[in-house]
Amino acid sequence: MTGRRALALTAATTIALSGLLVAGPAYAEDGAEPTPTPSSTATSETNAPVEDAPVEDAPPADLVKLADTAADHGVEFVASGTTAEGQEITLVSEDGATDDASIEAFAAEAQVPASSVVALGGTPQAFAEGDIVGGQGYLIVDQDDRLYNCSVGFAAWSPDRTPALLSAGHCAFDDTNRPMAGTLWSVPSEQPAAGGNDDLPATPEVLGTFGFAQFGSTDNAPGSDGDTNATDISVIDVVPGTNPLPFVTDWTTATEAYDSLAESGYAVKAVGAAVPGPVAKSGRTTGYTVGAINGNHIIDGWAQIEDRWVQGFSSNTEAGPGDSGGAVIQGNTAVGLISGGIEAEPGVEQWTWSASLTAALPKTGGYEVALDIDAPVITSPTDGAEVQPGTTVTGTAPGATEVTVSGFGADQTVAVTDGAFSFVGPVELGAQTITVTARNGLSTSDSTTIDVTVVPAPLVAPVITSPANDSRVNETVTEVSGTGLPTTTITVTDAKTDDVLGTTEVAGDGSWTVDGLSFEYGLDYSIVVTQTRDEEVSPEATSTFSVVPVSPAVTSVTNGAEFAHNDGPSGLAGTGIDGATVTVKLNGAEPTSANTAALAGAFAAASGTFTATVEDGAWSVDFGAALESGSYTVSATQAIDGVSSDPTDLSFAVLAAPVAGGGGAAAPGDGGLAVTGADLLVPLSAAAIALALLSGGLLLVFRRRQLIES
């Protein structure tokens, strides 16, 4: 089964380079004539470094379809063939359905005698059990039982976390766009990358079936330049027993063993977009090669591979037919899948197009690249250490988004920030185990485990966080809370009566709360809190506090308000607690300046204390008359059961009346005219007013002020 029939693929196409029309020679095995290197003016033929041309006499596609048929009936297919006696036999596992109805239905559809179906006890070693890695080759069976070659890109996880592989989308279709029937293992040492002759395996073994494939745009339409749905990706759902590894082979360890390529290469630790610089690829034809994305290459664009558009990037990394689907990496970051290009020839530079992995993955319906996540490192405490209850555990987990914590209490998930994590350790005394596993999406690391011994911490006074010492709170205190040592017993006592008000146990995070209390309006309450472990009692923590009404609100006057001389307020109003007694203290001061000393006496200011009871949430006091010009301060409190609130303070002013007239002496030396006429009467009138005030008028103002104060 080594005969091969080359099929030349020479359909002329073009590659879109950021809107420029560029092309290259055919990427096939028919020895197409070379043409110039791609440029903004050159035109030529391109093709995908597609699966190798089919060969005749391939194993029948029935080998692949038999497992699918069994699965349709709940039967777990294991193997089929001819016994030593020359009889056809089909082996199934007892882990699947083995009842007569299922077996007969499977046998009828598979067109095998039901009597030839034999169940194996237990779980057998399934098909081609072994490791498979990025860059490894595989065989594809079409519907006419012909074989093609392609390369594995990366190990993957399905949405329900079953193992899978990523490859190129065009590997899942034949040259007439019919879906391929399935995939088989190929022998690493027989691949061209290992110097082999492409000999087929003596006993073909199933690798898996395509679970998703897209070559071009949605529904495999050709797409167009700039079409963000255009890609080239497929997913192979592998058979049980196959172990895809987050690893890309360097092709230095190929033997006949299927898993030999996993012995040397590069771990895949992240997925990202391609960036300028070195880039490597691994595939079954040209092996592991390193090139570059330099200034002449596209970092994010679209190319037409055969008749389909593919979003991706270009490089000069060596690749050829059969490398399709192979892994493209930068360092340990997966960036693409080999899609197409132009092979290097004399006078023609290598030009390789890779499908962007970040653009392709979202189209697969939830598949993820499997990542090699480093095991987390627990930096504190150390293995074997003695720790106190609730000691913080810290560590690092590069490449992870979260860690799962187990071994004590309920399992928990902790976020990883900037590569670091922390969580509260075990609180139960004695020997404890702490196990941490790093995660990124569906990928997990090996676990890291340490053993610690939790010992009692020295008892210190607990901390009271609420109500705080020397605080004045405005609502009935129904609980006391704070922090202490996990698992100790908290006792809250009334400092004045020694009555125990409540007890509780400190939680694992060090917090505690004693509720069911009732400290109503009152002054200078005092509580004592201790924590106890076995017979040991900690030092005391105390808190003295008062519960007072909230300060009343003043709504009729705003702080800093100014009133006209003839529009001073005659009272004050606001809101408060029903039944509370509101006390308003009003203090006034005369204006700081006036035209004459006599005028100053005319601006009488009022002071006094006024009270009111809050009804329906409102209160008001009457000053007895509108306040005259002056500056005023107000301090309002409300009291319930003799407990007064903190004050509400504000200030306002009643402006002085404007002085009549606007005359005055001319500025010295300005040559102005002398003051004459009515302006001359202004000082005389003011003097007359002052005399009147000094006699009877001032007495009236004084008496009025006394009335307000009373």
Q: What are phi and psi of 345, to 5 degrees?
A: -145, 170
**Span 550-563, mean pLDDT?**
97
Angstrom distance (rounded) from CA 165 to CA 133: 9
Q: Which domains can be identified in the chain, with CATH numbers? A: 15-54+128-369 (2.40.10.10), 377-454 (2.60.40.10), 463-544 (2.60.40.10), 549-663+674-710 (2.60.40.10)
Lowest mean pLDDT across 333-347, 437-451, 600-614:
600-614
- Nearest CA among 290, 311, 292, 291 for reference residue 300: 311
Instruction: Write down the pLDDT at residue 661.
Output: 57
Greatest pairwise CA separation for the chain in angstroms = 146
- pLDDT 10s digits, 131-173: 999 999 999 999 998 999 999 999 999 999 999 999 999 999 9
- pLDDT 10s digits, 473-483: 999 999 999 99
Answer whether residue 703 shows pLDDT above 60: no
Instruction: Write down the pLDDT at residue 167.
Output: 98
**Span 220-228, mean pLDDT?**
95
Calculated CA dihedral for residues 604, 607, 610, 614, nearest 10 degrees: 90
Contact at 8 Å (CB) between 201 and 187?
Answer: yes
Strands across the sheet containing 571-575 = 553-554, 571-575, 618-622
Residue located via tokens 């006078």 = 347
Lowest mean pLDDT across 68-72, 102-106, 543-547:
68-72
pLDDT mean across residues, the chain: 83
The DSSP code sequence of 260-294 is GGGGSEEE--EE----SEEEEEEETTTEEEEEEE-
- Nearest CA among 137, 172, 166, 139 for reference residue 286: 137
**Span 403-430, mean pLDDT?**
96
Lowest mean pLDDT across 95-99, 298-302, 404-408:
95-99
Contact at 8 Å (CB) between 27 and 47?
Answer: yes
b/e string for 42-79 if b means 16 or more Cβ within 10 A? Answer: eebbbbbbbbbbbbeebbebebbbbbebbeebebbbbb
Q: How many CB atoms lie within 10 A of CB 563?
A: 17
